[in-house]
Structures are given as C-alpha cells and as structure tokens.
Structure 1
Amino acid sequence: MEKLPSKSQIVQWLADNPTLTSKRDIARAFGIKGGDLRIELKRMLKELEAEGALVKAERSYRDPAALPPVSILKVLAPDGDGDLFGDAMEWTGEGTAPRILIITKASDPALGQGDRILARLEPVGGKDHNYEARLIRKLGHNPLKLLGIFRSESEGGRVVPVDKKNDKEWRVLRDGTMDARDGELVEAEQAGPRRMGLPQARITARLGDPSGPRAISLIAIHQHGIPDQFPDKVVAEADAATPAPLAKREDMRDLALVTIDPPDARDRDDAVLAMPDPDPANIGGHIVWVAIADVAHYVRPGSELDREAKKRGNSSYFPDRVVPMLPDTLSGDLCSLHENVDRACMAVRMVLDAHGRKISHRFTRGMMRSVASLSYAQVQNAIDGSADDVTAPLLDDVLRPLYAAYQATKQARNERQPLDLDLPERKIVLSDEGKVLAVDFYERLDAHKVIEEFMILANVSAAEELNRLKAPLLFRVHEEPSPEKLQALREVAEASGFVLSKGQVLKTSHLNQLLAAAEGTEFYELINVSTLRAMTQAYYSPQNFGHFGLALRNYAHFTSPIRRYSDLIVHRALIAAHGWGNDGLAQQDVEELAETAKHISDTERRSMVAERDTNDRYLAAYLADRVGAIFDGRVSGVQRFGLFVKLDDSGADGLIPIRSVGREFFHFDADTQTLMGADTGLTIGIGQRVKVRLADAVPVTGGLILELLEIDDRALPKSHAPRGRGSPRKPGKAAAKSRAVKRKVSRQRRK
C-alpha cells in the first residue's frame, strides 16, 4: 500500500489483530516504509489517542474499552454459586471494569482468592459478565518487596530500607511482624494499597543480624541498585513463552553437540562439537561448531522482557545466589540447552587449519539437541583416563576431537600472543546456612581452556561476519594502557630488576616477555598484579577500537545472551543482516546503540563492584573470629594513609593505617608507589612480603584492619621517635634521601 490508511482502517485492523499492537506492526501491515509516511502515521495515532479511539500502553495501541486477548487476572473469592471471577490487572478504561468469568477444566490447578493467573480472554454477550477466561498458567505471587532494618514499636513497627536511594519507611502492623526483633534485617512485602502516609508491609523473612552471612549479598544488591525482582508484566511474558518451532531453522539435531559447564550451572547457553575436516585441501584441519541459545526468539525488541533485560544489562553472580538478566522460565528452561531436548540456537561452523588458524566460518539459525550435559571436571577426568558411564561412550567421537582441535588453536594463540596473566581466582565455599566454610582456588583445567578458546573464536567470527555484512553491532573494546599507567608498570619492573623497553609500539608480547622473566622469582605475583593494574577496563562500543588484551582486531560478545544484553544485540544484528526473521535488530536499536553500549558497560561495572563488596563482606565474616591471629601476605597497594595487604590464605584485602606503621613519619612517593621512613629510611612498596596481625574485622563493611609486624622476613627497624609523633624532615632533605634510598633498593633487588 502506497498511501496512508484511514483512521477507521487502523482501528479495525487493531481490533482484528489484538496481538500486533506496536507502531512497527501497524506500519508493516499497511506497507508504510518511507520516513515521511511514518511521521504522518505517528501523527494519526496521536490524534486517535487524543480522540479516545485508542489507548497507548508503553509502545502499543488498542481499543480503550477492550482488554488484551491474553491478560493477567487476579482471582476473586467465589460468589454465592461457587463461580470464580477475576479482576483484570491491565484494565485502564473508564467506568466499571469488565466482569470476567474464569472457566476451569478438571486438569487445571486449584485456584483461590488472590492467585494471579495468565488467561486467554474471549468477549461474550452474557448479561452477567463481559469476558470468559481460560487458564494458560498460574503465576507466582509477585508483590513489591524490600529489604531493611526492623524498628520495633508498640503497635508493630517500621522497616527502614537499606537502599540509600529509598528513604521512605514502611509501616508493619502487629500481626505482620513475624516476631522480628528490633535491629534485625528483614525482608518484607507490600501488604496493602499505597495510600496517604507510610505504605504498609508485612515481614516475610527474618534474616537476623545485618552482618550475618545470609544478609551479605542482599545488602550489596540493594546498596548498588541491582534490580532483583521482575515486574509482573515481565513474568507474564516469560510464562507465556512456548518452545520455538523448527520452521525455517537448519535442523542440527543429528550433530553430537555437548554442553560443558560447572557442576552447579543454573543455565547452559553454549554447546560445542569438533571433528576432523575431511576436505583433502585442509589436511590435519578441524571443523568446530559452537551453538548458542537463541534468546532473541523469546526476547523481542520493545517487549517487556527486552526492556527489563536491557535495564539489568547482565546477570550478577554472588557466592549464595544469582540475580539473572532473564526470568528462570527462560534462563533455566526454554533458553537453556538441556540434554536430549530440542532447543532453538544460533550457531557458527568454523573451519580451522592444522595450526589452529581460522580459514572460514558460516552462521546459521538452527534447532539442536545436546547429547550430554557435562561438567569441566567430568570431561577432564575422561581425557585423563578416568571416564565415567556418561563420558566413556563420548570419549572417541566427541571429547578427543574437541581436545585435538584445542591443541591446534594453541599454536595460533602462541602466534597471536594474547596477554598471559597468571592470577589464580579464589572462590568462597558456603554452608547451606550461608556461613563461609572455606576459601579455595578455582581449579583451572584444560577443559576450561577448551571452552574458553572456542568461545573466543566464535566471538571473533561474529564480529568479522557483521563487519563483512556492514551491519551495526556492539564491539567488546579493550584499549591499550595509558602512558601514565605504563610508566608506573615500567618503574615497578625496573625496581624489581626487569626491563620493559620504551620507544616502541606496545604489544601484548612485550608484556608477556616481562611476565616470563619474572616467573619463578619472588616478584612474579607483583609483576602480574602490576600488569593487571596497568590495563584499562574493557567496555562496549558501536565503534571498533580492537581488543588489546586478547590481541584481536575484531571482537564482539556472542556466546552468552542469557546473561549479557550485549550478546543479545549481536544475535539480533546477525538475524537482521541474514534476514532470518522479524526479531532482528530494529531501527530503534540501531539508533540507540551508543546509549545502550554506555548503559550496559555501566551495569557490568555495577555488578563487578557489588560482587567484590560481597566477597569482602564474606571474607570479613570468615575472619571475624580470628582477630589477633597472624597472617602472611603481600603489599598490594600503597597510599598516603596506609598500606593495602592481600593475605595469602584467603586472598582478603586489609588496610594497615599509616599511624600504625613503625614509630616514625613516612613520606609518600606517588610516582613509585612507596612509603619511606624519615628516620630509618625503611622503604615499603608494592609486592613486598609482610607478616601482619588481624586487628579488626567488620562484616557489615567488609573492612579488615591489620597491624604490620615484619617486612621481607625482618622485624620493623626501631626509631627514636615516639609512635605517631615522628617529625617530617625538610622537603629538600627528604627528597634527596628518597632518591638515595631508591637507588639503593634498586641495586639490592637486581642482585
């Protein structure tokens, strides 16, 4: 259609197509493509809205006197005849709300007053009711919740939220307190309509001491403003989702794809397969498949699910819980690549040569069926000769080809020289009650490296494919270190007896040479930590500035759309560029790419800070009953106000206040990150070994206060000045002495 429809045609079309209600749907239905026509359509819709012929909810339009064909209802108490009626939670019209009779079947679950259901509505002409509703599914109760400190009063009490952004207290009646004690951390939910005065709540869980283990991650979640509850409309959309059909997808169900994850994985969003390349022109080559959950099929642009996923940006992971980007109906079920279940996927087939270099790739939208859900340790044990009943049948045809392809990629990786940092990651082991049992190291197996390398290859392929198609996307960008940070790293290296040359374009291979030179020396950890600190933080951008750490020119995130919104954008870009459906990257998505990139980069940093704060609090709680104990550690930071020390056993970071370091005044040198004693010349810098006493542990803040006992296996030198009352030397004299001490320390470290 080359001309605009009339207003009556628009209203009639919306009545005939109640599930297609966005401006984009209307434009597509009437063939409106030009910019001028779209502007005119927008004007007409606004006029219809002003005239009352349509009502706009979010970005969709419908008849104001009608309910959506699929709606959320709140079940009312049975009437005198035993019939169930429901209140439409989405009713926005004027006058009396329509009366809805709920028709149940024998197979439906029992419904009671207050239950929320997703139902299909059919208008009827009956005198007693306007609609009949048939149950689709029963929804979980989803009231407004909050976390706070309970303050007891004679008539019940109040809940003071822990979220700094929420200063409104909630009133709790006497019968809704669950006998909570004054000062307890509690979880509460809204108990009545929000009218004038304090909103009313009832306590649903007593979490005890705010510094206790069960409260730690909840406090961080609320403190950093991480959304941890899905709105009703989002839950309803997820609950209404059904498995994707095969339709025009490529049938990949005969491929022996497997998922390999941690044993406690809550979602499985990637599957892999490798096999020798039969092409005689590629002798010794490999074919590698990476299949990723097709989240884009379920999370459509402009939907409630999409808006909430974008708002969250990513999932957040804590020792005792996960705050997911998507509701569990999707993340744990329909989008999770479970064993022996058909699942929609986005996949890439990559051809590698015998040296692990990628020759070609091909993307497809398919339907797969995982043949096994495996753990990293399970796969590694099988390769090492201890296969179990699950892995034994897969060993020759599935697992060994994966490792063979990985061995080839190691050659290409060595040529590329990505940054090779060695920083063991610690994990906090909790009891069922949330108490810290131990602090262990994550085991680093070849099985982890197999999956990591194939995911990197898939991410590179996605970026290259969209570049080839000249399609917009979000790149994962990691820029090289700033000159200031690089100079700081160079000074640490030189003070430790190593060299990081100047006057050349910095490459990761130069940093790897420094790391290799430090390996096996007492400065190995220092050089690794200092190199990490010199790095810039990675971020998302619609412009490509390369990935310095991975030594890659093109890199995007494609492999985790269940937990990262960036990957969902890349999936949509591939769908749009290949014409695989109407759920690809929309024009509005393209226009907002820069804004989206900044937002999800911010949410990623927010999650990282919240996760770090949570770990700090858990570690402080773990060490709280060991105050007075002595620990070994290493100086991890130096500031004017004191020293930061990372403890060897737990990896916890603690502060030694400057007032407690020795019995003299210390001069701070920001350039070399050192403190120098004015009387003794004692110089303390990053990486030095120390012995400390734990003076205090505060679980609420995660703070550890330490007392310095020894440096590099030597007791602190004595000074004639009383503790805390040392007199600073004159600036000129102190600077001269500082330079002399630096030269002396440098010579000693080179010996």
Structure 2
Amino acid sequence: TSKRDIARAFGIKGAARIDLKRILKELESEGHLQKRRKTYRDPDSLPPVSVLQVMEPDSHGDLFARPVEWHGEADEPRILLVLKSSDPALGANDRILARLTEVKAEDHRYEGRLIRKIGSNPIRLLGIFRKYAEGGRIIPIDKGSDKEWQVPERDVNGAKDGELVEAERAGPKNRMGLPNARIVARLGDPSQPKAISLIAIHQHGIPDAFPDEVIAEADKAKPAPLGKREDLRDMPLITIDPADARDHDDACYAHPDDDPKNKGGHVVWVAIADVAHYVTPGSALDREAWKRGNSTYFPDRVVPMLPDRLSGDLCSLHEGVPRACIAVRMVLDAHGQKISHRFTRAMMKSAASLNYQEVQAAIDGQPNDKTKPLLSPVLEPLYAAYHALKTARNHRQPLELDLPERKIVLSDEGKVVSVDFRDRLDAHKMIEEFMVLANVAAAEELVAKRTPLLFRVHEEPSPEKLESLREVAQSAGLVLAKGQVLQTRHLNNLLEQAEGTEFDEQINLSTLRSMTQAYYGQENFGHFGLA
C-alpha cells in the first residue's frame, strides 16, 4: 500500500500528510513496516512459490489456503485461491503447490494460482486439437508418439480446431480404446512465436514431465531443521541475480577481517542451496537429475532439473525465509590472495533478493529504497573484497575476452522486439570472482581429503590454432609474438592492441576460436583461460 493509499483510506489531507510521512518512517525504522520501491508492507512475507493447505470454503464459496511453512512474527496470512475452469477440484486439507501474488485485501494478503495438487501428477501432452461433433481429438507433437487422445465435449475448454493445446490425462488409465484427455491450456496458432518453445521441448525429447515417484519424493520433502547446522540466519547474506531470475541459487556477504595479523584483509562468505539434503544418492530425485543433467532455459520458460517444490521453493534462497545451505568462509589478504577457507553446512536467511542493475546503481551513487539501507553494511564491503580480488586477478593475468552477451527481448505475444547487448557491470564481475574463488576452495578441500572429483580443465591452444590467430592479427596490422611459451598475458596484449579499433570484435572472436574446448576430467591439467 502506498502512502497515497493510506492517506486516502484515513481521510488525511493537506499538512497532516507530513505527520503521516513521519509516522511511516518511524514504523519502518522500528521494523513494523518495510518499504519496497514506493510502497510499505509487512516484512513478513511468503516465497513466490509456496506449499499451501486448502481450507474450508467460506460462506461465499471462496476457497482460501494457509501456508504449510510460516516463519513470520505476524499472524499467518490467508491466501485466496484463484482457480481456472480447467484446474482440478480442491477440497479442505488438500496440499497444493501455488504461485503467489501479494495483494492488499481486507481478508487475505495473497492470491494463489495453482501449479499442481500435491500427491497428483497427471500425464501431460502437447498437440494439435481437431474438433469433431462431440468433443475432439488431440494429435500429439511429441517426438515418436503416434497415439491420438480423445477429448469429451465437457473437457474441450473452448479450444478451436487447429489450435495448439496442452492437456492432461482424464479418467482411468486402463480404459479400452483411445485414452481420454482434458484440455488445460489453449496455446493458439502453433506457428505463433509463443508456441515455439513448447514445440522445441517436445520435438527434441526434452523431458518436461516428472515421473510419479519423483514428484512423490519432492512432495514429501520438508524444510531442513537447524539441527547441527551452523546458524547464519543473522548474517546479512544477499542474493544478486538477473532481474528476471526465476530462482536464487547462491548468496554472498563480506566484511573486513578483524584479525590484526591480516591488516586490510577481507572475509568473504559464499552460500549455495543445500540441494544434497533433499536429493540423496540413489533416490528417484537423484536418478531423474542424472537423466536430465541440467535445467533448460528458453526465452519464455524453463524446464527444471528438479520439481518446483525443490527448484522454486526449498532449494531457492528466497528473501527472509530460512533455507539450508552449504557455505564457505574465505579469508583474503589485502592483495586479494586467499589465505584460508572453511566449509560448513548451515542455515541462512537471505537479507535481500537484489538484481545486478540495482546493486550497481547503489554503488554508483543512486541507491533505491531497497539498497540504500544495505549500502554501507553490505554492498560496500562486498565491493571492497572484489577490488582486492581484482588486484590478484591483474597479477594473475587471466584471459580478458570482451564479448558482450546479447539478449533477445520478447513482447507479451512472444514476438522479438529487439536484440540488445547486456550491460556487463562490475556487479556481474564481482559475483563471477566470488564463485570462481569458492570453486577453487572446493577443489582444494576435496583434493586435501583425497576425495575423487571432476576438474574443469582448459588446456592451452594448439600450435596450429595459434598460427591461424597470428595470421589474423597480422592482417589487421597487429602483433602476436612467436618463439616463446604462450601465456594469457601475450593474448591479452593482442586484445589490448585491438581495443577501440575496427578489428576489436574480430580479434576477440578469433582469440576465442583459437582456444581448446574446456572439459571435465579426473586429472587436473589446469585451466589456461583462468591462469
């Protein structure tokens, strides 16, 4: 609710609004309110994806739910369920996974939209709907599928002939004849841009549905208890991600080292979600993760490696929610060299979910309402540690390729609006440096414990590739010296010669093409690019 809304609700006008502003500031400083952009809200909040328990319908027939997991000091919030006609029927005490939107209504704080009913995992399919006299049929576009599905008239959901539709199995599995399906989403013309991602998923056989046993294991998962974990909930770890990030995998925090023997040094914490607590070796979740290997991202959707209950909830470091994590505490000297590290299984509570742009703007002197209180205690110490790491990086001279990432911007209809360059900010580089450092610490820890592991290996370029790069450089009037053992500083010197000239992008791309393909291996042959 904004200050204007509050003033209107209580009939506050004129000079009295100054007093209202003062009262709101006092409530904010005492922790009763939290200001986000230009609105005030209770700091107790729910994650955007939550497990809910359905309550009895009220006297008006509206269906509400309560959160299964609630850590706030305020009263437990009520969630109004906004259901579609194609959603399955829900009853009291049903557990569901829902996507939440915060609202300001009299009798509820959130609206919830059903992702799925927990304990159910209906088979889904994508196909072209063909209308007949009494209902219709769906012709699947799944790779290798030749079975049609029958749709009774009551389950057509308004679909038109020729539309791309998403449907789920309806009725018993062992019925004779064509299986029955219920249309749950109309996706329109299959040639339209928004349908391309879904068609690509099915045409390439990317598994976008989880087996029943995998869903059952995920549904049984409960938030990890503190137990013997180190309690880091009072440490202001923050997540920094793209503005459109769907989940939050890692968090960081830094502060000056108070050890008198390490004058000017820094302590950097990096925490990641403790996925291994939920995905145990040999489990159905583990086998499915092995099968998928990774999450697959499209411009308008993601096919996750793990079910939503984990990827969007228990294994996502949401702001203000206790989450199990694995954290590493790394001590740096004033020149950015790592002195020591320590790993711990812990419980954290993210102080803020920020994006790269607002973090960089805060450091550049333009903080917003969310970053301003974090600037001195959290953001500035993070950047101080990053600048120390930059000193070490400059001494190490890793390969400094400048290849801006391109971002395809889509309209709501899925059409390409523009192809933009993504800004590469110091905020991006800072998180990259922290993650590389944490990975180095992890490798050192596993080697010290004689634990088998896979290294990311990047061998030096072949003589033939280097000779080709040298010819490209010479044609541009630039020099890549020969007759010496190649080091990344030699390639950086070439890149510096090209910087700002008409050959800048060409030399960067040619240098990239001269590199060998990085791979994972049991032997540590080093990483040429990171020096």
Q: Kindly provide the amino acid, as one letter, of the partner of residue 340 in structure 1.
A: G
Partner of 1:144: 123
Once the two structures are superposed, residues 386-413 of structure 1 have per-residue CA deviations (whole angstroms, 9 ceiling, x without a partner) of 2233322222221111111111111111
Q: Kindly provide the amino acid, as one letter, of the partner of residue 416 in structure 1.
A: R
Partner of 1:372: 352
Mapped partners of 2:176, 2:473: distance in 1: 64
**Structure 1 residues 548 and 154: alpha-carbon distance in aligned structure 2, compared to 1, 3 A threshold:** farther
* Per-residue deviation, 1:286: 0.9
Mapped partners of 1:195, 1:394: distance in 2: 60
Residue aligned with 1:260, SS: strand
1:653-672 matches, cutoff 5 A? none
Matched, 1:225 2:202: no
1:385-396 matches, cutoff 5 A? 385-396=365-376
**1:275 aligned to which of 255, 262, 272:** 255
Partner of 2:458: 478
**Structure 1 residues 140 and 322: alpha-carbon distance in aligned structure 2, compared to 1, 3 A threshold:** farther
* Per-residue deviation, 1:293: 1.1
1:538-687 matches, cutoff 5 A? 538-551=518-531
Matched, 1:523 2:499: no
CA contact (8 A) 1:115 1:138 kept: no
* Per-residue deviation, 1:368: 1.7
Mapped partners of 1:115, 1:305: distance in 2: 29
Partner of 2:246: 266
**Structure 1 residues 388 and 215: alpha-carbon distance in aligned structure 2, compared to 1, 3 A threshold:** same
Instruction: Give the paired residue count.
Output: 425
Residue aligned with 1:225, SS: coil
Partner of 1:305: 285
Residue aligned with 1:360, SS: strand
**Runs of 4+ in structure 1 over 6 Å off:** 113-119
1:6-25 matches, cutoff 5 A? none
Once the two structures are superposed, residues 178-212 of structure 1 have per-residue CA deviations (whole angstroms, 9 ceiling, x without a partner) of 56455433323233425666544343333222221
Once the two structures are superposed, residues 58-103 of structure 1 have per-residue CA deviations (whole angstroms, 9 ceiling, x without a partner) of xxxxxxxxxxxxxxxxxxxxxxxxxxxxxxxxxxxxxxxxxxxxxx
Partner of 1:400: 380
Mapped partners of 2:409, 2:422: distance in 1: 11
- TM-score, with length taken from structure 1: 0.53
Q: Kindly provide the amino acid, as one letter, of the partner of residue 300 in structure 2.
A: D
Q: Kindly provide the amino acid, as one letter, of the partner of residue 240 in structure 2.
A: I
Residue aligned with 1:364, SS: strand
* Per-residue deviation, 1:176: 4.7
Matched, 1:409 2:355: no
**Structure 1 residues 422 and 144: alpha-carbon distance in aligned structure 2, compared to 1, 3 A threshold:** same
Q: Kindly provide the amino acid, as one letter, of the partner of residue 190 in structure 1.
A: R
**2:431 aligned to which of 443, 451, 454:** 451
* Per-residue deviation, 1:253: 2.4
> Which stretch of structure 1 is more off in the superposition, 294-303 or 206-215?
206-215
Matched, 1:440 2:420: yes
Mapped partners of 1:114, 1:178: distance in 2: 22
- Ranked by relative contact order (alpha carbons within 8 Å, sequence separation 6 or more), the top structure is 2
Once the two structures are superposed, residues 620-645 of structure 1 have per-residue CA deviations (whole angstroms, 9 ceiling, x without a partner) of xxxxxxxxxxxxxxxxxxxxxxxxxx
Partner of 1:161: 140
**1:185 aligned to which of 164, 179, 183:** 164
**Structure 1 residues 282 and 497: alpha-carbon distance in aligned structure 2, compared to 1, 3 A threshold:** same
CA contact (8 A) 1:194 1:200 kept: no
Mapped partners of 2:167, 2:493: distance in 1: 55
Partner of 2:332: 352
Q: Kindly provide the amino acid, as one letter, of the partner of residue 211 in structure 1.
A: S
**1:252 aligned to which of 232, 247, 263:** 232
CA contact (8 A) 1:466 1:473 kept: yes
Mapped partners of 1:481, 1:173: distance in 2: 62
Partner of 2:216: 236
CA contact (8 A) 2:473 2:479 kept: yes
Once the two structures are superposed, residues 83-134 of structure 1 have per-residue CA deviations (whole angstroms, 9 ceiling, x without a partner) of xxxxxxxxxxxxxxxxxxxxxxxxxx9x969999789xxxxxxxxxxxxxxx
Mapped partners of 2:331, 2:188: distance in 1: 56
CA contact (8 A) 1:171 1:200 kept: yes
Partner of 1:331: 311
Mapped partners of 1:483, 1:160: distance in 2: 54
Mapped partners of 1:116, 1:502: distance in 2: 74
Gaps of 5+ in 1: 1-108, 120-136, 552-751
Residue aligned with 1:166, SS: coil
Once the two structures are superposed, residues 666-722 of structure 1 have per-residue CA deviations (whole angstroms, 9 ceiling, x without a partner) of xxxxxxxxxxxxxxxxxxxxxxxxxxxxxxxxxxxxxxxxxxxxxxxxxxxxxxxxx
Mapped partners of 2:360, 2:138: distance in 1: 50
Mapped partners of 1:367, 1:424: distance in 2: 36
CA contact (8 A) 1:115 1:139 kept: no
Partner of 1:664: none
**Structure 1 residues 175 and 485: alpha-carbon distance in aligned structure 2, compared to 1, 3 A threshold:** farther
Mapped partners of 2:504, 2:161: distance in 1: 50
**Structure 1 residues 531 and 155: alpha-carbon distance in aligned structure 2, compared to 1, 3 A threshold:** farther
> If you compute each CA radius of gyration, which structure gives the higher value, 1 or 2?
1
CA contact (8 A) 1:115 1:141 kept: no
Partner of 1:41: none
Residue aligned with 1:373, SS: strand
Once the two structures are superposed, residues 351-382 of structure 1 have per-residue CA deviations (whole angstroms, 9 ceiling, x without a partner) of 11111111111111112222222222222122
* Per-residue deviation, 1:296: 0.8
CA contact (8 A) 2:143 2:205 kept: no
Gaps of 5+ in 2: 1-80, 82-87, 97-115
Please give the root-mean-square deviation of Cα atoms over the aligned residues, in Å.
2.8
Mapped partners of 2:150, 2:294: distance in 1: 33
CA contact (8 A) 1:340 1:370 kept: yes
* Per-residue deviation, 1:157: 5.0
**Structure 1 residues 345 and 179: alpha-carbon distance in aligned structure 2, compared to 1, 3 A threshold:** closer
Mapped partners of 2:142, 2:520: distance in 1: 28
**Structure 1 residues 253 and 184: alpha-carbon distance in aligned structure 2, compared to 1, 3 A threshold:** closer
Once the two structures are superposed, residues 209-232 of structure 1 have per-residue CA deviations (whole angstroms, 9 ceiling, x without a partner) of 222121111122222222112222
CA contact (8 A) 1:116 1:138 kept: no
**Structure 1 residues 355 and 188: alpha-carbon distance in aligned structure 2, compared to 1, 3 A threshold:** same
> Which stretch of structure 1 is more off in the superposition, 415-424 or 495-504?
495-504
Q: Kindly provide the amino acid, as one letter, of the partner of residue 291 in structure 1.
A: A
CA contact (8 A) 1:271 1:291 kept: yes
CA contact (8 A) 1:342 1:367 kept: yes
Partner of 1:210: 190
Residue aligned with 1:284, SS: coil
Residue aligned with 1:245, SS: coil
**Structure 1 residues 144 and 383: alpha-carbon distance in aligned structure 2, compared to 1, 3 A threshold:** same
Mapped partners of 2:146, 2:155: distance in 1: 21
Matched, 1:510 2:490: yes
**Structure 1 residues 211 and 492: alpha-carbon distance in aligned structure 2, compared to 1, 3 A threshold:** farther
- TM-score, with length taken from structure 2: 0.73
